[in-house]
Amino acid sequence: MRTMIVLSDNQHALAKRRASQQGISLSEYIRRLVARDLEEAAPAWDPSVIFGLFDSGGSDIGANKQAMISEAIDKQFADKGL
């Protein structure tokens, strides 16, 4: 089946130039564009698949944030001998 596609003169020239750069015909260039556009989109990644994979070791950053930050800073100073 043949179908006519109407492009502006500028679009036609640019598409023909791009096809030539790729070493393919204008028809093949347009077929590839259409095929790429019609491909099924990959399903969106579901971040919930990583929930529950790791053990926090009992830490609760929400409840102990200030103490944990203070402990980390104190350790950095101690490691430097300050």
Would 71 be classed as within a structural domain? Answer: no
Would 69 be classed as within a structural domain? Answer: no
Domain that holds residue 32: 9-38
**Alpha carbon of 28 to those of 7, 14, 45: distances in Å?**
16, 14, 32
Would 59 be classed as within a structural domain? Answer: no
Would 51 be classed as within a structural domain? Answer: no
Instruction: Kindly indicate the confidence band of residue 3, based on its pLDDT and cuts at 50, 70 and 90.
Output: confident
Would 79 be classed as within a structural domain? Answer: no
Q: What is the pLDDT of residue 45?
A: 77
Q: What is the pLDDT of residue 31?
A: 93
Would 63 be classed as within a structural domain? Answer: no
Would 1 be classed as within a structural domain? Answer: no
Kindly report whether the global pTM for this prediction surpasses the value 0.85: no
Would 15 be classed as within a structural domain? Answer: yes
**pLDDT tens per residue across span 7-42:** 999 999 999 999 999 999 999 999 999 998 888 776
Tokens of 14: 């640019």
